[in-house]
Structure 1
Amino acid sequence: MQYATVGDRPFDTVYVHALVRDEKGKKMSKSLGNVLDPLELIDEYGADAVRFTLTAMAAMGRDLRLSTQRITGYRNFGTKLWNAHRFAEMNSVFTGEAHAMPTPTATLNKWIIGETARVREEVDAALTNFRFNDAANALYAFVWGKVCDWYVELSKPLLQEDAPEAEETRQTLGWVLDQCLILLHPIMPFITEELWETTAKREKMLVHADWPAYTTADLLDADADRELNWVIGLIESIRSARTQMHVPAGLKVPMIVTEVDAAAQTAWDNNEAMIKRLARVESLDKADGFPKGTVSIGAPGATFGLPLAGLIDIGEEKARLQKSLDKLNKEIGGLKGRLNNPKFRDSAPEDVVAEAETNLAARQEEADQLQAALARLAEME
């Protein structure tokens, strides 16, 4: 019609979103009673949580399975963002003026600035290609993981009044949080606008703020990036080993290192107190080999071990894990039998088949984790 009347095409680009279904994959219907009213969801969870949920699930070529549980999770994400600003406020980050891009000297601050540039590029690429779910998920991982879980935690010693990096860290934290608000604003406009207006005097509203154009080529410090990612990877590996071996959460354990190159040693020396505090490590000793009952932990350029003999009952722990694994294998066998049966796939509703496949994948992942834990225990015998 547009061509017929004025000779112009009506749209340059058309984006067709997927069908929104219920959590079991069924089409929403009043007769089935499975309709989720968006206005009611907004009243209960907030518009930002609903918007972020729909965006994060908007993968191309796949229908959305909407559930209140998912929306609750993304409401918690908004709470996490708000609490990060509360933490910054309690540490005198917000002085009334907007934060300019800092030029830090501390490795931690260099690292988070590079991570901010990295996610900015990732979000831009996703939005350009209409992969809105990729943009949302990248921001979720960055804000919750890199900023709230790691940077906020690691910055606490640097924010102490007597720390030489305190002012620099305040500037960096303020700038990073501002970038979080700008990048999240298209998806979560209400909470970001509120935080934008209440944390500093601004020349204009967030909706009118300039979209950032910095790149990793401009801001990424390769040495800081390598060192902090090494530290985070080591802490995560130690925590994972402790969890698998059922080591009490509050118990500090000694650690042994058998091999360590210069870069790994430097990373350890620069961050020793931080690693010990967050991984609950009591001490680090050099040894030629691991004693019996040691769980090995690999890191780039180093081989660490946690000597757990005497801290856990290996036989009892193996029996516990094996019992859980046997139960899981029985469930996996049943699910595989159903899914490998052509009659089941032909006659069962599509959502039932999809649910069985999801359950199988989840149980297989859990079984793999138990197998890995048993393999660690076998190393200790």
Structure 2
Amino acid sequence: VDVSYPFLMEVYNNYEERKLTKDEFIEILRTVESYVFRRAICGVPTNSLNKTFSTMAGEIDKDHYLESIYAIFLMKDTYKRFPDDEELMRELMVKDVYNFRNRNYLLRKLENQDRKEIVNIESYTIEHIMPQNKNLSSVWKEALGDNWKEIQKNLLHTLGNLTLTRYNSELSDRSFKEKAYLKGGFKDSPLHLNRNLAEVEVWNEGEIIKRGQFLAKQALHIWKYPSLPEDVLSQYKNQDITVENYSRTIEDYDYLKGDMLDIFKQLSKRICNLDSSVREEFKQRYIAFKTITNFVDIIPQKSRLRLSLNLAFSEIHDPKGICRDITNLKKAGNGNVEVGISSDKQIEDIMYLIKQSFDKHRDE
């Protein structure tokens, strides 16, 4: 899903800046993958994903990175929702998986769950356990019962009736027992997807539904639903951090008043005049100034403006020694260099430092 790439690039940049751990970064990738896949299974329209991912980076609480991303996903509803376990189970049980465009991805993940020796399913073909042939043999009709036509119509292409094989032509429309005991058949197969088939003697409606439930439960563990304690989630709900419903302005920052507001306006004008590409964005906890990415973030405080410069501390030239190394500290904003300003007399010194960060990111 290409529209997620700008968001993921921003998260990766934060990972490189040590705002989150490798495990947290990987978990975010998996969460995005689960979000997109669950929506595809549940038939949620994709036309909202562009806006969803384009605004998400601005909603993150960098002090509680992974937790806030879970909260962002969990608070989305209606057409932006993250389908929960109940919805995924229900839809996966009845979905026409055979004609699903991501069927190979689905079967590959199910087959290779917890495997170290990965199976390349591209060399296999998809097998309908109950055949597609509308003229089923008498053996199949007897196994399925009097309503065999209805069962074939409703369950033929569902997950419970599909598996993988390299013996598609040999299995063909044979009875289930023949498919199981034939050389290369289900009882002779090394695939995880065929393990429970080896334990079944008759293939009927109940067994198809039972296997579908088994595989759908596996899917819940592969494509996980994010989880947060209700009291933690309620805190995010009370903060109303979602950008889609709320655009922040200068008035939303408690400490941008009086002298601090005057200093901020002067500084903002100077920063924006560095280049026509500079954009000012109002985030939850700070104001970001960016070109390709943030080069300085301003965090309003009661008696000063705290600036975070997006540089390694070793990169900054600080002749007056006013910068602080925050490399291993978790704070709002991007970068490892912190500097404060509490008077408009400091603006020239501060702009000298800001321009170093701007020049670095512009050149890159």
Question: Same fold by TM-score, threshold 0.5 exceeded?
Answer: no
Q: Which has the higher helix share?
A: 1
**TM range, smaller chain:** under 0.3
Whose radius of gyration is greater, 1 or 2?
A: 2
